[in-house]
């Protein structure tokens, strides 16, 4: 069942799912700002972006994309990378934080399903598989190393300064590059590969936790 079809078939379930998915992208952004503050940059905090108030975060197009194609985005939190302590590790940690939160949300939902915490006939049994899938897609998509996605900043944290600057120069065109790659289908194998990495990582963790 498509996400939008739930709006007509089960409005209450759609509302619960909508809130859950919206907070998946909101928590992704808050994580960037929160980790940045840990490393010495309080820009997001000063701009009031470390809040759970959705009004401060939601991007209309990103929200629509979340329900139409299965991934979307919130307004990026402002981070001044020059303020970060332990610059390279701080840069890497801030960039990875959003994807890490999406993977964590997927893992929590998976635990609830796998260990029988959720009744099979409850609304959560319908919602949680969608939450898992969307959050893994969000994590996988954002790991792609094309500016302005998080993957590009993760990559930058390992690159020399001149290579960082070269990659950063792509950022004004990044959205158009991503749209072209998405609609041409060229990005699909990359997203699938990133998803397989995340599923493998989660599977490995579950193996060690047993």
Average pLDDT over residues 142-157: 93
> How far is the C-alpha of 150 from the C-alpha of 138, rounded, in Å?
11
Say how far apart CA 70 and CA 188 lie, in whole Å: 13
pLDDT interval class at 206 (50, 70, 90): confident
Comparing 192 with 86, the larger pLDDT belongs to 192
The position carrying tokens 């079809």 is 5
Predicted TM-score (pTM) of this structure: 0.88
Contact 87, 93 (CB under 8 A): no
Active site residues: 29
Measure Cα distances from 138 to 8, 65, 132 in Å: 25, 11, 10
* Domain ranges for the chain: 6-209
Tokens encoding 134: 């969307």
- Answer whether 133's CB lies under 8 Å from 195's CB: no
More confident residue, 143 or 117: 143
Please tell me the predicted confidence (pLDDT) of residue 177: 92
User: Residue 209: its pLDDT value, please?
Assistant: 67
Q: What is the mean pLDDT of residues 77-93?
A: 90
pLDDT band at 4 (very low <50, low <70, confident <90, very high): low
């Amino acid at each position: 069942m498509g996400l939008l079809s739930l709006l007509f078939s089960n409005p209450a379930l759609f509302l619960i799912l909508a809130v859950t998915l919206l907070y998946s992208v909101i928590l992704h952004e808050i994580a960037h700002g929160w980790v940045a503050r840990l490393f010495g940059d309080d820009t997001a905090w000063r701009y009031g972006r470390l809040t759970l108030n959705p009004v401060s975060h939601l991007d209309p197009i990103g929200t629509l994309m979340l329900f139409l194609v299965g991934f979307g985005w919130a307004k990026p939190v402002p981070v001044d990378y020059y303020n970060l302590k332990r610059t390279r590790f701080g840069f890497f940690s801030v960039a990875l934080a959003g994807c890490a939160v999406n993977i964590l949300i997927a893992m929590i939902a998976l635990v609830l399903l796998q260990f029988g915490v959720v009744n099979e006939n409850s609304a959560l049994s319908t919602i949680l598989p969608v939450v898992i899938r969307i959050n893994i897609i969000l994590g996988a998509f954002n790991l792609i190393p094309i500016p302005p996605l998080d993957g590009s900043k993760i990559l930058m944290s390992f690159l020399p300064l001149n290579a960082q600057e070269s990659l950063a120069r792509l950022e004004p065109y990044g959205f158009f590059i991503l749209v072209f790659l998405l609609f041409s289908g060229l990005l699909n194998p990359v997203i699938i590969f990133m998803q397989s990495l995340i599923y493998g990582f989660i599977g490995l963790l579950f193996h060690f936790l047993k």
